[in-house]
Amino acid sequence: MPAPRIIVEESVRELVPGARDAVSKLDAVREALRLLQAGERALIAAKGAWGLWRVAAREAWMRGDNYFLLEAADPVEAELAGVGYGQLVVARAAYAGQLPSDRAEFEKLPLREKKVTRRALLAGAVVGATMAAVEKPVETSMCAQRGVGKACTRCLEECGGKACAAALCSVELLQVPGYGRDALRDYLRVLGARGPGYLVWAPRWLLHRLLQLLREPQHRPVAPVYIVPVGCSYTVGLEEALAARALGLHPLVVAEDAEETRLDPYCGPSRGKWLDTVAADYEKLAGEKLHATSLEEAAERLAATPSLKPLPDAAALLNRGLHVLAASEQRRLLGEDPEHWVPLRTPYQARITVDPERCTLCSACVQECPTDAIELNRSPEREELLYTPARCIACRHCEEICPEDAIRYEDAAAARPAARRTLVAEEAVRCIACGAPIASRQLVEKVLKQMLSHGFPREALLTVLLCDSCKAKYQFGIIKPDWSKIPDWARRYIERAPSGPMPGRGRGAAKKR
pLDDT in tens, 275-332: 999 999 999 999 999 989 999 999 999 999 999 999 999 999 999 989 889 989 998 9
Is 282 domain-assigned? yes
Does residue 42 share a domain with residue 160?
Answer: no
Domain containing residue 355: 342-426
Q: Phi-psi region for residue 361, left (φ > 0), alpha (ψ -120 to 50) or beta?
A: left
Q: Do 204 and 327 share a domain, yes or no? A: yes
Does 45 lie in the same domain as 89? yes
Q: Which residue has the higher pLDDT, 41 or 454?
A: 41
Task: Decide if 294 is inside a domain.
Answer: yes
Same domain, 413 and 304: no
Claim to verify: residue 151 and residue 298 sit in the same structural domain: yes
In a shared domain, residues 351 and 417: yes
Cβ-contact 401, 368 below 8 angstroms: yes
CA 454 – CA 448 distance, rounded (Å): 10
**How large a percentage of the chain has pLDDT more than 70?**
85
Residue 504 lies in a domain: no
| Average predicted confidence (pLDDT) for the chain | 84
Residue 54 belongs to some domain of the structure: yes
pLDDT of 127 higher than 50: no
353 belongs to a structural domain? yes
Co-location of 81 and 191 in the same domain: no
Q: Name the pTM for this structure.
A: 0.79
Domain CATH number, residue 363: 3.30.70.3270
| Domain-ending residue, one of 291, 313, 334 | 334
Other beta carbons within 10 Å of 387: 24
511 in any annotated domain: no
pLDDT at residue 120 in the model = 47
Angle, alpha carbons 145-371-346 (nearest 5°): 105
Residue at 125 is within a domain: yes
Q: Report the number of distinct structural domains present in the chain.
A: 4
**Residue 171 main-chain phi, psi, to 5 deg:** -130, 20
Whether residue 513 is contained in a domain is answered as no
Helices (H), 64-127: 75-81, 85-98, 118-123
Q: Which of 277, 309, 334 is the last residue of a domain?
A: 334
Same domain, yes or no, for 119 and 266?
A: no
- From CA 123, how far away is CA 112, in angstroms rounded? 15
Average pLDDT, integer, range 448-477:
86
Residues 80 and 7 in one domain: yes
The closest alpha carbon to 464, from 513, 429, 500, 504, belongs to 429
pLDDT reported for residue 510: 40
Distance CA 213, CA 156 (A): 36
Q: Are 249 and 321 contained in the same domain?
A: yes
How far is the C-alpha of 43 from the C-alpha of 92, rounded, in Å? 8
In which region does residue 392 sit, left (phi positive, over 0), alpha (psi from -120 to 50) or beta (all else)? beta
3-class DSSP string for 184-232: HHHHHHHHCCCCCEEEEEEEHHHHHHHHHHHHCHHHCCCCCEEEEEECC
Same domain, yes or no: 95 and 236: no
In the chain, the percentage of residues whose pLDDT exceeds 90 is 41
**pLDDT classification of 5: cutoffs 50, 70, 90:** very high
Both 420 and 462 in a single domain? Answer: no
